[in-house]
Structure 1
Amino acid sequence: MVEIRGRLGEGDLLGVVRAAFGERELVSVERLRGGSKKGVYRLVLDDRTTSIAYVWNAEENYWPDAASQDQNDPFGHADGLDLFEAAHAALSSIAVRVPRVVMVDRSRSLLAGEVAVLEDVRGGTLEALRERDSRRASRVLARLGDVVRAMQDSRRDRYGRPGVDRAGDTDPVEQIVLRRALGQLAETAARVDRLAAVEHRLRDLLCERHAAVAPRTEYGFIHGELGPDHVLVDDHDEPVLIDIEGAMFFDVEWEHAFLELRFGSDYPFFRRAGLDRDRMRFYRLAMYLSLVAGPLRLLDGDFPDRPVMLEIVEQNIDRTLAQLT
């Protein structure tokens, strides 16, 4: 079993609790599973109330240093308190429910890393709710569909992350997706024999689908990785978005390619008129390649939930190859 690193305990996080809540006692700390770029900890206080601490530092980040650091790159490094705060503010401004922020600290004096203390939304994930109560989950999904459409209706004429001002001329988003997908195809073909055998066909298909995409100059606000595991459910059955650091203005079809993959038979809750069919066909293929390359890269390190990542890799190899039929 791979050792989970970055395990902080009561002694490590007591200073964070005192900064957020004053002279309160920290009874226990639980590191929650699932994070690959930050540590997520549940803090239990002496009156049994709970909060969540996000910790961003090198020990909590399982990803290798392969992501672009270019602030103009919408697929670049999506980590840290600055991106979290900018996304949180942007989502809150259009009435999207996100966990309430109690305190942030970027001084690195409380512990080795940036920290945010948040409301603890105790209803669990939408993913878990779908498994145990489909009727209630449908109610949450309907509300989530409205949230996603409201986000995508928030428009601007520049793509990129909130709080990041792009400098100079930049490529069209579909060109960025093509360049990234071709790189990921080469990367995965070098590691997966089934993809290596059809690499040239997949390269031609990517270029063919890219060529069919017409230019665009307006972009909607998307989460970037909105699966049911990135949605919590509050006491009023309202969806609460988490893992928001990658939120950005982009082609909404990119989000829809991910939504239809992650929500499957529940995707109709998210449907909207006016999606570009050519973009959807191109982005599906690019998305599947991304979901092979990314997990394989993560598995080069010591990420602990390896069977989950391997399953994602296998599923998306199959999805990629199905695009050729």
Structure 2
Amino acid sequence: MSTERRFASVEDLGPLVREALGEKLERVERLRGGTKKGVYRLMFERGPSAVLYVWADAENFWGAGADKGRSEMGLFLAAHQEFSELGVRVPELRFVDGSGRLYPAEVAVVEDVRGGTLEQRLGSDDGSMERLAEHLQRMAGHRSAGLGEVGPVKAGEGRSETCPEVVLGWALKDLGEAAGRVEAISQKRTAFEELLHGMAGGIEPRTEHALIHGELGPDHLLMDDGGEPVLIDIEGARFFDVEWEHVFLRIRFGERYPKLRVEGLDEARMRFYRLAQHLSLVAGPLRLLDGDFPDREFMMGIVRQHIGEALSFVQGPCVGGDLRIGRFPG
């Protein structure tokens, strides 16, 4: 499939940039890291650079049929508006187009935030973690009775299930996929199923849900010139149990997570959602590796780490054993 992928060039994007921004495009740099959209730095003959998001089949390593019929640009715009109105910093929006007239895909041009990622600053004492903590407090206090991605909730089309029911569905699907590929998980599948159902059944549903990013690792936070964290990859933002966000934060920030913790987190939810996310971080990367995702060693490292973390829920800390990854009967 890699030979079929064709990414955007200066020639492809020149007309879009000229009409949308009134600039002459000089160079294009495709930035690494995206799995559902292409991210390009646009450099002009004059003026500051910008960043282009392209939601095209050729940019989607999950497969052209993934989330078919859903507008990723629409999700991005709804989340961008919600964060902006809340005072949570996201890249400034310069142009959007979903018509396909200027480029055969949904596109958005945003501010090019050039201060690097928060991940690159984690060892410093520049106040960036404290400013991120302020954002998280604001998001945790921003509530909605609706549940689901920001756009559908705002349109009155939120999900009808509870958060624990949604997570249980995700986790059972991920478990099935992981068990079909990882022998050690296959051997413990029944134990995982019983544990997941038991955890979900012990959690009381809520009537209000917080605004969360969903995958807020230090690589999804850029730093602007004023030292303010800027959220990127916001299409998955949703109203949900705040614990889902904080499980991911704890996984990604490790020993630095206590600086980001908010008050009132439910530990039963945290434990259930942590198991669900470990299973997701096994099944998701393996789905990507079925295709032609380029950074294969990195993804396999994530898979191996989270196999061990998931197994610790049903057999204690994983200190070896059969972690063979392949195709096994689930």
Tell me if TM exceeds 0.5.
yes
Structure 2 Cα separation of the partners of residues 21 and 67 of structure 1: 31
For each residue in 1:103-130, what CA deviation from the matched residue of structure 2 results, as whole angstroms up to 9, or x when unmatched? 1111111111111111100011111222
> Which residue of structure 2 aligns with residue 142 of structure 1?
130
The root-mean-square deviation of aligned C-alpha atoms, in Å, is 1.9
In the other structure, the counterpart of 1:173 is 163
Q: Report the equivalent of 2:109.
A: 117
* Structure 2 equivalent of residue 309 of structure 1: 299
- Structure 1 residue aligned with 2:61: 62
Q: % of aligned pairs identical? A: 49
Evaluate the alpha carbon distance shift between residue 262 and residue 66 of structure 1 in structure 2; reply closer, same or farther with a 3 A threshold: farther
Q: Which residue of 2 aligns with 1:90?
A: 82
What is the letter of the counterpart of residue 30 of structure 2? R
Look up the match of 1:211: 201
Are 2:183 and 1:225 aligned? no
Match of 1:74 in 2: none
Q: Which runs of 5+ in 1 are unaligned?
A: 71-76
Is 1:40 aligned to residue 44 of structure 2? no
Stretches of structure 2 that go unaligned for 5 or more consecutive residues are 317-330
1:70-122 CA-to-partner distances (Å, cap 9, x unmatched) read 9xxxxxx6x62111110000000100111001111111111111111111000
Code of the aligned partner of 2:218: P
Shift of 1:7: 2.2
Shift of 1:145: 1.0
Residue identity matched to 2:34: G
Amino acid at match of 2:29: E
Q: Does structure 2 retain, via aligned residues, the 8 Å contact 1:6–1:39?
A: no
Q: In 2, Cα distance between the equivalents of 1:213 and 1:19?
A: 53
Assess, with a 3 A threshold, how the Cα gap between structure 1 residues 67 and 3 changes in structure 2: closer, same or farther: closer
**Offset of residue 6 of structure 1:** 3.7
Deviation at 1:157, TM superposition (A): 0.9
SS of aligned partner of 1:54 = strand
Q: Distance in 2 between matches of 1:168 and 1:235?
A: 37
TM-score (ref. length: structure 2): 0.90
Cα deviation digits, residues 34-89 of structure 1 (max 9, x gap): 0111100001110262100111111111113675569xxxxxx6x62111110000
**Residue 15 of structure 1, CA deviation:** 1.3
Paired AA for residue 54 in structure 1? Y
Query: One-letter code of the match for 2:9?
Result: G
Q: Does 1:161 align with 2:149?
A: yes
Matched-pair contact (CA < 8 Å) for 2:57–2:64: no
Superposed counterparts of 1:123-134, under 5 Å? 123-130=115-122, 133-134=123-124
Using the alignment, how far apart are the partners of 1:213 and 1:81 within structure 2?
Answer: 34
The normalised TM-score by structure 1 is 0.91
Residue 66 and residue 176 in structure 1: after superposition, are their counterparts in 2 closer, same or farther (change >3 A)? farther
Equivalent pair of 2:220/2:232 in contact (CA under 8 Å): yes
Any runs of at least 4 consecutive aligned residues in structure 1 with deviations exceeding 3 A, and if so which? Answer: 2-6, 65-70, 165-169
Contact 1:289 1:316 in 2 (8 A): yes
Aligned residue number for residue 73 of structure 1: none
Q: What do residues 168-200 of structure 1 show as CA deviations (whole Å, max 9, x unaligned)?
A: 972211011112211211111111001011111
| TM alignment of 1:264-283, pairs within 5 A | 264-283=254-273
Amino acid at match of 2:13: L
Aligned mates of 1:62, 1:218 — CA distance in 2: 34
Secondary structure of 2:110's counterpart equals strand
Q: CA deviation at 1:149?
A: 1.4
